[in-house]
Chain A
Amino acid sequence: MVAIAERLTSIWEETPGLASWLTTVDHKRIGKRYIATAFVFFVLAGLEAMAMRIQLARPGQAVFTPNAFNQLFTMHGVSMIFLFATPILSGFGNYFVPLMIGARDMAFPRLNAFGYWVFFFAGLFMSFSLVIGKAPTDGWFNYVPFALTHYSPGLNIDFYGLGIIFVGISSTTGAINFIVTIFKMRAPGMSINRMPLFVWAVLTTAFAIVFALPSLTVANVLLELDRKAGFHFYDVAHGGDPILWQHLFWIFGHPDVYIIVLPALGIVSTILPVFSRRPIVAYPYVVLGTVAIGIVGFGVWVHHMFATGLPQLGLSFFSAASMMVVIPSGIQMFAWVITIIKGRPVFTVPFLFIIGFIVTFLIGGLTGPMFAAVPFDQQITDSYFVVAHFHYVLFGGAVFPIFAALYYWLPKMTGRLTNERLGKLSFWLIFVGFQVTFFPMHIMGLLGMPRRIYTYQSGLGWDVWNMTSSIGSFVLAAGVLAFIIDYYLSLRRGLPAGDDPWAADTLEWAISSPPPAYNFESIPQVSSREPLWDQPDLPQQIRRGTAGPVLAEGHETVGTSVLDADSEDVLEMPGESPWPLTSAVGLLIIFCALLISHLLLAAAGLVVMSIGISGWLWDTGDVNSG
């Protein structure tokens, strides 16, 4: 038993030191890095929001100039969507998908490292714009023609256009990696009807990214060609069309809501049953609901454009589709609630965040179909009611589950428990702070307050609600601060977590906390949806090397078939490599060069990137690549 662990450690452990920090391909290290980096962006974007709430607390304030305010709300949205929500969920996926499916790494470990570096550099690239006071100013959906050079000269919008293309490369490689990992590397016996729901959610999301993201990329390529090279895609005077941007943006933009929310719903479906002490009810329906959201989400984008004067027939079609997309969410909502009813709830901190999620996401889900009703949408769109709605959906649907996930999984990642009382304090501050901040925004919207205004006149009935909202935002921020303190203290003097502090059902809890470099001493044979509940001695078997193949000959894991997870293959996994970082640096140089229109520098970047990719491919064996 000890011999197996030692042998695997010598094969899998990466050399310590700075070099390995730069060359690591371990999905756990990369996952932690995604989570930490994204959390920093969450704090930054949160501070941007606080700045806006300070300005809007009272009418007619001039704490920030209009230009600064416009940069704030743009960077708040862009950072929250592209630099926080998507990557942090990708981080959880990175860390826990291989563990939940009983694999030793992602399918393409080096591509994984590359994806992280690209995200990190793209985040720096976009955030740098705010540091030099040239952040984009056109909101996260960046409508043309305001975003064209005539109305927005300077680099501001270019930071957006290029930054979005840049970070999209990371999301795409990540999505491909998740799909192949989930298709090929599930533990033997984990047929698709036994996959944990979080894995289903990640898989659906990855497919949604593959099909949605190209639209955003194309939209921004056309934008940058218009801005930098004098093309005319959006320019009415030369046959272009500004509505084209809106179509391309929202064909991506609406599925993107689900790209963010789906993995979070997967987290809920993972954590909620654990603390209800029973499996989720109606597993097949929850899976169908997840997949259906991913598909129907592509048919509803026009509801963001109901006020643009489109033909009425089109409006009714998209109205119907937008109402339909509520049903698969409803299925999941009732599956969760009924699971609680039929179970035996345990009020831990992660579970509190799950309850906070249900209440908040429910409200967001109830105001959602209102926007599918065309006349109401035409009245209320672009008002603060929308701001309220999508914060209930995204904060409710993603941030609450993310905090639940942090409290649930941090003990696995760090090996330390967090403080229960501080955790509960954090929950109540975040929950109450959130409601006080965002509920009044529904009312402001109904009272006619448009979004994206940097100031307003008094006497319009908006003052008291704005003040309430601003106060709430400070309570919310205090809750986030309480979490940070809790986390810090747990690292310092948290109690040891043990392998499975929550008595959970999925495979990541079968191994030690934090997990060893090789994850599993032996790859388990899975025979149910809740392996640890059905096979209580599985952790022992894994450790003894009797649960399945040990594969201590080299850097290896098991490859299985797509549907039934029959074992087929021994996959040779690559180890540490300098090439992902090299390639990502090349990309960074290219994007900086494009920003300042410096072709020679771009060529240099291309050379660096080619060196990176060549080195990478040359190291790649021809049976299994990575």
Chain B
Amino acid sequence: MSSSFAATATTPPHARTRESGWWGMLLFIVTEATIFGILFATYFYLRFKNMPVWPPDGIKQPTLGLPLLMSAFLLTSSIPMHVAELGVKKGKQTWLKAGLALSFLLGAGFLVVMLGFEYPEKLKEFTAQTDVYGSLFFLITGLHGSHVFVGLVMNSWAQVKAARGRFDERHHLTMLNVAVYWHFVDVIWIFVFLTLYFSPRF
């Protein structure tokens, strides 16, 4: 019994379940998602608790132009990231490298629009110190933006590893984790968009 077991344990079977590192990343994402969930709940709590008019203090309804452009950048960036992941699993290094690079560019584009155009426009109207609406707006978008930034750092890390040839069909946990984090940040953006830009219309 024990000898046959030892044999299976030393030769890694093909149909392995998830790696420890994958579980770790998943749980990290669950924690992060909970943080965002609580912030969205806080947003609606504060809006409906005391505020008859939202946004308050004469702040205009958020316009959708720039945020839609940002959405386009970020949501499409998940496609090349997925291509990179498929690439590494199938051993296609070109897919891997091109996918990572393209998703990096799209993610960076999101941050450029956010920091270069969207924020300056908002800051003309209100700041985080104006009232609780401003506080919520800049905290939630800022936190999400910093997650995009972390995603870019992780993406660069994966690119360095990819360039040094450290990934192959069997060794690519970093790549899987970067991809799942990246998709998570994209999905959170949908909720940020719906909450901060879309929901005040109702």
Contact = CB atoms under 8 A, between A and B. Distances in A.
Nearest to B39: A218
A179 B23 contact: yes
Contacts of A550: 6
Interface in A230-253: 230-233, 235-236, 238-241, 243-244, 247-248, 251
A184 B38 CA distance: 30
Interface stretch (B61-69, B75-83, B97-105, B167-175): B167-175
Contact of A244 (B5, B30, B46): B46
B128 interface: yes
B131 A623 contact: no
A239 B23 CA distance: 40
Contacts of B132: 232-233, 235, 238-240
A443 interface: no
B191 interface: no
B58 interface: no
Interface in A608-626: 617, 620-626
A244 B9 CA distance: 52
A22 B46 CA distance: 46
B24 A241 contact: no
A222 B39 CA distance: 10
B42 A622 contact: no
Contacts of A236: 50
Contacts of A620: 174
Report whether over half of chain A's contact residues are helix, strand or loop; otherwise say mixed.
mixed
A558 B11 CA distance: 12
Interface in A166-198: 172, 175-177, 179-180, 183-185, 188
Interface residues of A, number: 64
A548 B135 contact: no
Given A108-B24, A214-B35, A525-B2, A622 B135 contact: no
B2 A548 contact: yes
A180 B21 CA distance: 9
A547 B39 contact: no
A577 to B, nearest CB: 16
Contacts of A455: none
A215 interface: yes
A290 interface: no
A569 interface: yes
Contact of A248 (B28, B38, B135, B172): B38
B124 interface: no
Contacts of B50: 236, 239, 241
B157 interface: yes
Given A231-B128, A248-B42, A624 B13 contact: no
B16 interface: yes
Contact of B34 (A211, A568, A626): A211
Interface stretch (A118-126, A279-287, A559-567): A559-567
A623 B24 CA distance: 13
B100 to A, nearest CB: 15
B28 A217 contact: no
Given A248-B38, A570-B10, A547 B2 contact: yes
B28 A549 contact: no
A2 interface: no
Contact of A622 (B13, B131, B172): B172
A617 B21 contact: no
Report whether over half of chain B's contact residues are helix, strand or loop; otherwise say mixed.
helix
Contact of A568 (B6, B17, B139, B174): B17
A238 B10 CA distance: 64
Contacts of B31: 172, 176, 210, 213-214
B12 interface: yes
B190 interface: no
B173 A622 contact: yes
Contacts of B174: 617, 620, 622, 625
A229 interface: yes
A9 interface: no
A107 interface: yes
B133 interface: yes
A625 B167 contact: no
Interface string A399-427: 00000000000000000000000000000
Interface in B15-48: 16-17, 19-21, 23-24, 27-28, 30-31, 34-35, 37-39, 42, 45-46
A240 B131 CA distance: 8
A571 interface: yes
A221 B136 CA distance: 12
Given A214-B34, A548-B5, A568 B20 contact: no
Given A231-B129, A549-B6, A622-B171, A176 B24 contact: yes
A570 B9 contact: yes
A214 B6 contact: no
A528 interface: no
A378 interface: no
A453 interface: no
Interface string B150-182: 000000010001000011001111100000000
B135 A231 contact: yes
A233 B135 contact: yes
B72 interface: no
Nearest to A523: B9
A180 B23 contact: yes
Contact of A176 (B6, B28, B131, B157): B28
Contacts of A188: 5, 9
Contacts of A217: 35
A603 interface: no
Contacts of A183: 23
Contacts of B129: 229-232
Contacts of A547: 2
Nearest to A212: B34
Contacts of A559: 20
A561 B8 CA distance: 13
A222 B42 contact: yes
A176 B27 contact: yes
A571 B46 contact: no
A291 B165 CA distance: 45
B120 interface: no
Interface in A442-461: none
Contacts of A251: 38
A546 interface: yes
Nearest to B154: A617
Q: Which interface residue of B34, B132, B134 has the most chain A CB atoms within 10 A?
A: B132
A548 B5 CA distance: 7
B49 interface: yes
A225 interface: yes
Report, nearest first, the 9 A-B pairs whose CB atoms are least far apart. A239-B132, A625-B21, A622-B171, A231-B135, A214-B34, A214-B35, A230-B129, A176-B27, A549-B6
Interface of A: 107-108, 111, 172, 175-177, 179-180, 183-185, 188, 210-211, 213-215, 217-218, 221-222, 225, 229-233, 235-236, 238-241, 243-244, 247-248, 251, 522, 525, 546-551, 558-559, 561-562, 567-571, 617, 620-626
12 contacts: A210-B27, A218-B35, A218-B38, A218-B39, A225-B128, A229-B128, A232-B129, A549-B2, A551-B10, A568-B16, A570-B9, A621-B171
Given A225-B128, A551-B10, 15 more contacts: A107-B24, A176-B24, A176-B28, A180-B20, A188-B5, A210-B34, A218-B39, A230-B129, A238-B131, A241-B49, A248-B42, A570-B12, A571-B20, A622-B166, A625-B20
